[in-house]
Amino acid sequence: LDKPSFVISPAEAESAANQLGVSVFQLLPSLVYPAKSFALPPISKFHVGAIGLGSSGRIFLGVNVESPGLLLHHSIHVEQFLVTNLTLNDERHLRHFAVSAAPWEHCR
């Protein structure tokens, strides 16, 4: 079973940006909604995606993850997933990020 890597290399990011005639920074919003497809929200059914551009030029994905049988406040929020993804991949700085939805009311 292929697993998504949740990381886009600088070369892949540049290639995608060039194909669309935009900069990597301008590419970020167009990646947010496809990232939502990786979310796992069996409780709320509310898919959220985030994209972060690290100082290395890599692009990182974040999604929300909910666990059946647990209350929603035990969920992994999209921002938590994104920051954990950066940390696990030794990315030191998050330069820019885009997210598909504002934090839900419990987190505001």
CATH number assigned to the domain comprising residue 52: 3.40.140.10
State what percent of residues in the chain have pLDDT above 70.
91
Q: What is the pLDDT of residue 32?
A: 95
Contacts of 53 (CB under 8 A, 6+ apart): 24, 25, 28, 59, 60, 94, 95, 96, 97
The predicted model scores a pTM of 0.89
Residue numbers of the domain that contains 30: 24-103
Residue 8's DSSP bridge partners are: 59
Q: What is the pLDDT of residue 105?
A: 54
**Has residue 50 been placed in a domain?**
yes
Q: What is the pLDDT of residue 108?
A: 43
- Catalytic residue (one of 14, 79, 91, 105): 79
The total number of structural domains in the chain stands at 1
Q: Which residues of 12-46 are buried (b: 16+ CB within 10 A; e: fewer)?
A: ebeebbeeeeeebeebbeebbeebbebbebeeeee
Low-confidence ranges of the chain (pLDDT < 70): 1-4, 103-108
**Has residue 11 been placed in a domain?**
no
**Catalytic residue check, 79:** yes
